[in-house]
Amino acid sequence: MAHKVNTVYGELLRAFGPQGWWPADSPFEVIVGAILTQQTLWKNVEKAIASLKRAKKLSARAILKTTDRDLQRLVRSSGYYRQKAKKLKIFCEFFLNEYCGKITEMKRSRTSHLRSRLLSIWGIGRETADSILLYALDKPIFVVDAYTVRIGERMGLFRSDGYEHVRNYFESNLKRSVPLYKEYHALLVQLGKNFCKTKPLCAKCPIKKLCRMIML
């Protein structure tokens, strides 16, 4: 019999369909988005990315050539714009110094090594590091965010014992698969954005069965 975590995945997929994350034109854009979306609505991040594109600033070299003030102005819509402009520059410097600004170079490193290097960068925490590993570099790391923890706890999948504990839960109970990790995390976010916003078990709730599972 399948583990509950797999049943939940099936229900999510049935309710919402494939999410096709991460929406971006390039791995570098994924990284920029991962930094900009920290504690921020994706809608506002899209505007910032559009601004960067319009200004031809969607590359590590271009970002480093931009003045702090200009970069802050470009990412303003994503909130925490001073911090985020600084984070982008610090990451770009790391990316150019360590990997010649090439994603393919970065992918060569071992996942665990990459993860600790990313975590050592100011402004890159666990979720951002793992988003980069999974969605930009195709490494088999399960991304945990606030929704993942909340939903998983409500569904009784696990008792949250911190980020690494939850990540380990998914990685050890799921088939080790990059596309699965990508899709599952995206679906959890999709559910997180929906539940509690629509009335639980209301007539048009697209996720009745899921609502029952999480006992709303």
If the CB atoms of residues 3 and 70 are measured against DNA, the closer one turns out to be: 70
Stretch that binds DNA, among 21-29, 49-57, 100-108, 170-178 (CB under 7 A): 21-29
For the bound state, the minimum distance from the C-beta of residue 2 to DNA, rounded and expressed in Å, comes to: 27
Residue count, binding to DNA (CB under 7 A) = 41
Residues 27-66, mask of contacts with DNA (x by CB under 7 A): ------xx--xxxxxxxx--x-------------------
Per CB under 7 A, does 198 bind DNA? no
If the CB atoms of residues 3 and 17 are measured against DNA, the closer one turns out to be: 17
Rounded CA separation 99/141 (Å): 21
Rounded CA separation 64/116 (Å): 23
Residues between 134 and 153 with contacts to DNA, criterion CB under 7 A: 135, 145-147
Do 71 and 63 meet the contact criterion of CB atoms below 8 Å apart?
yes
Per CB under 7 A, does 22 bind DNA? yes
Torsion of CA 88, 91, 93, 95, to 10 degrees: -130
Do 126 and 70 meet the contact criterion of CB atoms below 8 Å apart?
no
How does 110-125 read in b/e, with b if 16+ C-beta sit within 10 Å?
eeeebbebbeebeebe
Do 36 and 48 meet the contact criterion of CB atoms below 8 Å apart?
yes
Per CB under 7 A, does 156 bind DNA? no
For the bound state, the minimum distance from the C-beta of residue 1 to DNA, rounded and expressed in Å, comes to: 31
Residues between 92 and 131 with contacts to DNA, criterion CB under 7 A: 121-129, 131
Ramachandran area for residue 143 (φ above 0: left; ψ -120 to 50: alpha; else beta): beta
Binding residues for DNA, rule: CB under 7 A, are 21-23, 33-34, 37-44, 47, 76-77, 79-84, 121-129, 131, 135, 145-147, 161-162, 189, 192-193
